[in-house]
Structure 1
Amino acid sequence: MKALLASLLIAFAAGAPLEDPAEEMRAQALMREVRCVACENEPVSQSSAPIAEDMRARIREMVAEGATDAEIRDWFVSRYGEFVLFRPPARDLASWLLWAFPFILLGAGVGIGIVLAINAKRKSGEVEAEDV
C-alpha cells in the first residue's frame, strides 16, 4: 500500500511545475528544444505520449538539481542520440553541409536561372537581327 501511494505521489509530482518560476521557465524552454522520441516531430512540451511525460519529468528533475542546459541536452543526447534535439550542433563537415545544402541548392538554382535568362535573351536578339 505504501509503495502504491509513493508511486502515485511521484507520478503526480512529475507533471507539477517547479516552485521557482525562473527554473520552470528554463525547464519549459528545454522541453521545446527536446524532441519526443515517440512522436518524432513534436517537442516533449506538446506531446501526450507517455515517454514525453517521463522526459518532461526528467528535465524538471535535472533543472531542480542544478544541471546546466548543456548538461541536460547532453544527457538526452547520450541516451537517445542527436536526433532528440531539434537543433543539433554542427560538429563535423557532414553536419555543416547538411545545414548549408538548402542554401547551396537555392544559389545554384538562381545561378542557373540567370544563365538561362541571359542565353534566351541572346538568342532572341540574334533571331531579331537575322530577320532584318
Structure 2
Amino acid sequence: PSHYANAAPKGKSMANGVGQTINGIKFTHPDLKPYEVVYYTLMVGKDRIEKKPGYNLNVRAYIQGFTYKYLADGYWMNYGVEEYQAQMKAIYDAGYDEWIFWNAPNNYVEDAFKPE
C-alpha cells in the first residue's frame, strides 16, 4: 500500500501519501487500506492476464512489511499482525497463494505468520 502514495512533487524525493488513482481505482489513503489496495490491484492484474489467450503467468505479490511513517499524519498507520494478515487474505481472496513481505531491515511481525 505504501507504494500507492501519490507521486512526489518535482524536486522532492517523497510523496505526501494522499493517494492516487491506480487502474481506475482512487486510493485516497492507501496505507490505511491494506486489504483493498492489494486485492483490487491483483484483481485488475488478473483480469488483464486472463484476456491474453495462452498467457501463463505465476504471480507472487510483494506486500508491505513495514510502517511507512514518512507519510503525512492521518495517512499512515502502524503495520502489525492485522495489517500483515489483511494483505495475505487479499492475496488468497484474489485467487493467488504466493506472497513476499518486503521490509528493508528484515524486521517482521512474526506473530502474523501462522503455521501451515
**TM-score (ref. length: structure 2):** 0.21
Judging by fraction of residues, say which structure has more helix: 1
Q: Which one has more relative contact order, counting CA pairs under 8 Å at least 6 apart?
A: 2
Larger Rg belongs to: 1
Could you say which structure has the higher strand fraction? 2
Q: Normalising by the residue count of structure 1, what TM-score does the alignment of the two structures yield?
A: 0.19
